[in-house]
Structure 1
Amino acid sequence: MLLVVIAFVVLLAMGMPVAFAIGISGALFFVQHPELPFTIPVQVTVSQTQNFALLAVPLFILAGNFLNRSGLTSRLVDLASVLTGRMRGGLAQISVTLSALMGGVSGSAIADAAMQARMLGSEMTSRGMTRGFAAGVLSFSAILTPIVPPGIGMILYGTIGNVSIGRLFAAGIVPALLLWLALSLAVWLTARARGYPPQRTTRPTLKEASFAVRAGIWALLFPVFLLLGLRMGVFTPSEIGAFAVLYAIVIGSVVYRELSARGFAEALETSLSDVGAVMVLIALSAIFSYGIVFEQIPAAVSAFVVGISGNLEIAMILIVACVIAIGFFVDATVLIIILTPILLPTIRALGGDPVHFGIVFIVAATIGNFTPPVGAAMYAVCTILDCRVGEYTRESLGLLAAVALVALALVFLPGLVLFLPDLLFG
């Protein structure tokens, strides 16, 4: 497997698309093992696409694109302004709150960061915030998006690791609230030290607040409907994706009446591109995963970690540190696909809960989207705001510390993660 890993790193460094780097490097494993039929890579690639649970991935991507064109985003901005506009650094607080509200709508940290950068970035800098701070807030606040259900990372982790997707959806809510509070506190402390003004100076009236809540209520109810549908057995994880698409179309065309024929076609076109990229990655990762299982790497990793410490919390900290370090160079989706079959058996061997580990793992893997040298969300925001990566990095250290403290708390306090899924699903 060493040759496979080296080939994967070299191909990434050459700029090859991640999906093809995984597929080609995985195919080298079969070159090293001529006793294995070379029909296996084709078979595992095709069979990976036949997993019925993965049908939820393209459906949720499609639902998110429909919701983004339904007029929901502008209403969520108004709601976020009402909730946090009077706090210090009001626009930065609005960005953090908007990411929490957008979690059930977008599901993509990179898409959320880029959208907010276009919506709020120039206004934040015009109000005296440095470009680095504005870019850092817009980028790091997007970590909330994949944690609020229905995050695509949860679906991938649950499908690959055979973990309840309904419990994962429920488990993401409390950690998302904690991340929201931690990032809001970090923004408030920075804004207070630098004298950044609030977005609005007057308290919202009851009429204004009630109007904002009514306008954004359909986005707030979306994760609730998903959890209730799964809990009550109305939908399977795949069927809930179809419900999400129907929900998005009804909200956009009937309730808000802003999903036009052109917007419908654009959502389909964007979804086609997004789904193609994700599904090719999932399909070709099966070649890579076959070699991992054949070489019994999960068992070796489990023995290594247990050999260092049989304590679950220490093992999780070691794993999280490694995932964050690898995430500096590899996309979160790739990490979830490749590392889940390696790391999850280790956690199970130590008596850990796969839902608890899944949320911690997804948070750790997502951090890489916002850090140098290859953070996709970071580059999207810095490009839009014309911000240097060095300035972004310096200004984001407080935000990174806030996220790291929450991740540490989640490791040692599994009840924060498991409280809601245990309450809903038993």
Structure 2
Amino acid sequence: MTAWIFVPFLVTLLVGVPIAFALGISATTFLIVWDKVPFTVIAQRFYSSVDVFVLLSIPFFILAGELMNKTGITTRLVKFAGLVVGRLRGGLAQANIGASILFAGLTGAGVSDTSAIGSILIPAMKEDGFEADYSAAVTAASSVIGPIIPPSIIMVVFGSIMGISIGALFAAGFVPGILVGLALMIMAYIIGVKRNHPYRKEKVGAMELIKGTKDAVLALLMPVIIIGGILSGVFTPTEAAAVATCYALVVGFFVFKTLKLKDIPACLLKSATTTSILILIVGFASVLSWTLSIERIPQALAKALVSANLGRVQFLLLVNVLLLFMGMIMETGANAILLGPILMPLAIRLGIHPVHFALIMLVNLNIGLATPPLGVCLFVACPIAGVSMMKISKAIAPFIVMEIAALMLITFIPDLVLFVPRLLGFA
């Protein structure tokens, strides 16, 4: 009977059906063919899974990021990152990674980072003498940081589905995100030395640094307002997202004066489109997850793992392999919603803190954003750089290795994840 769940899902994926509809078709096919529940129950289940107040933060976070990008803030962040790390070997590559770390606090979505930063830095890197495939690879690999450092859209989705404090997840994301960024910088330095990549040789003057910081500070304040408000209890995540949108409007219209009224409809449309895609994935993934629970597949898997007497280390290694593979072939949100309810109880049974395990899952799955064959950040970076998927896949391999190395540290040193949440009283 379970074949009626997985076969339609695999077939629809292979023929190119969008992931949200592939999830819905497979679940609906099974439930209708085997007459498990009335058709109306499927719709009710879909609606109840998206009728969650905290999910309202998603369109606001996306809109805030779009508005800040329209103000030209990306250029200011790129320039600031170049001033801070541009003198390291591989200058613009290091600035690319640094900009992704800074930009992560604005959008919370990897694809947005790839598009915004890539459109500026990929042409600049090519003009400066960097290989086109390498430029695209650095951009795609560093975009993984976006959904790890808060605010993060996938953390909002995962926290709402799993009943985990979004504030705790946000607090837990800082160190892992920075750790992934440092790992990528190390690899960029090694490759920069090997290939003799250019870098900034002149020192940064005090006045230049002050001006660059002044230009970037308003952008850097937005994540401080969002995260500070949530962690201090002043805002809920949804309220923080709305405040971030208002902040972006004020900065764009009255401070930088680069945001125009004609830009607003495009930003609203992009926010609505992206949100609708995410909501469809959340809804249909929830229906499929419910279908799996009807067939007691999670319980069967749990029983098999328990009977295997896996210790914590073996379990975590197995989970990492599974999630890295799933991240390669399926969208991050769908993976998190489907696999979270299955794997989280097993992790808790083995004494793994739920916030720690949530970050292991999310970092793991976010690496899939830059991993072939279906890494969406790769698809965005390829046309900007004018390179094939084959070339970027080869160029990104060393960076994926460094991200996995950072993942291993996050997995087996829980304090790297739990230090900040404990400091703030979340764990």
TM-score, normalised with respect to structure 2: 0.96
How far has the Cα of 1:35 moved from its partner?
Answer: 4.4
How far has the Cα of 1:43 moved from its partner?
Answer: 0.8
Is the counterpart of residue 60 in structure 1 residue 61 in structure 2? yes
CA distance in 2, matches of 1:237, 1:116: 26
Q: Is the 8 A contact 1:347 1:357 kept in 2?
A: yes
Task: Give the equivalent residue in structure 2 for 1:255.
Answer: 255
- What percentage of residue pairs aligned between the two structures are identical? 32
Q: CA RMSD in A?
A: 1.5
1:92-137 per-residue CA deviation (whole Å, 9 max, x = no partner) reads 1111001000001121111211222221112212332222211211
Is the counterpart of residue 421 in structure 1 residue 407 in structure 2? no
- Counterpart of 2:308 in structure 1: which amino acid? I
Unaligned runs of 5+ in 1: none
Task: Give the equivalent residue in structure 2 for 1:113.
Answer: 114
Task: Give the equivalent residue in structure 2 for 1:326.
Answer: 326
- Counterpart of 1:118 in structure 2: which amino acid? S
- Counterpart of 1:245 in structure 2: which amino acid? T
CA distance in 1, matches of 2:240, 2:425: 16
How far has the Cα of 1:308 moved from its partner?
Answer: 3.2
CA distance in 1, matches of 2:79, 2:396: 26
- Counterpart of 1:421 in structure 2: which amino acid? P
CA distance in 1, matches of 2:211, 2:298: 53
Task: Give the equivalent residue in structure 1 for 2:74.
Answer: 73
Task: Give the equivalent residue in structure 1 for 2:23.
Answer: 22
CA distance in 1, matches of 2:117, 2:377: 11
Q: Is the 8 A contact 2:382 2:388 kept in 1?
A: yes
Q: Is the 8 A contact 1:313 1:411 kept in 2?
A: no
CA distance in 1, matches of 2:184, 2:306: 34
How far has the Cα of 1:289 moved from its partner?
Answer: 1.7
Q: Is the 8 A contact 1:103 1:145 kept in 2?
A: yes
Q: Is the 8 A contact 2:130 2:197 kept in 1?
A: yes
How far has the Cα of 1:51 moved from its partner?
Answer: 1.1
CA distance in 2, matches of 1:12, 1:138: 27
CA distance in 2, matches of 1:308, 1:254: 62
Q: How many residues align?
A: 425
Worse-superposed segment, 366-375 or 146-155? 366-375
CA distance in 1, matches of 2:386, 2:126: 11
CA distance in 2, matches of 1:221, 1:352: 34
- Counterpart of 1:303 in structure 2: which amino acid? K
Match of 2:106, SS state, is: coil
Task: Give the equivalent residue in structure 2 for 1:103.
Answer: 104
How far has the Cα of 1:158 moved from its partner?
Answer: 0.5
Q: Is the 8 A contact 2:108 2:153 kept in 1?
A: yes
Match of 2:233, SS state, is: coil
TM-score, normalised with respect to structure 1: 0.96
CA distance in 1, matches of 2:415, 2:284: 36
- Counterpart of 1:69 in structure 2: which amino acid? K
Match of 1:396, SS state, is: helix
CA distance in 2, matches of 1:310, 1:328: 25
Is the counterpart of residue 271 in structure 1 residue 268 in structure 2? no
Task: Give the equivalent residue in structure 2 for 1:42.
Answer: 43
Task: Give the equivalent residue in structure 2 for 1:308.
Answer: 308
Q: Is the 8 A contact 1:143 1:367 kept in 2?
A: yes
Task: Give the equivalent residue in structure 1 for 2:372.
Answer: 372
Q: What does 1:157-306 correspond to in 2, within 5 Å? A: 157-198=158-199, 200-306=200-306
Unaligned runs of 5+ in 2: none
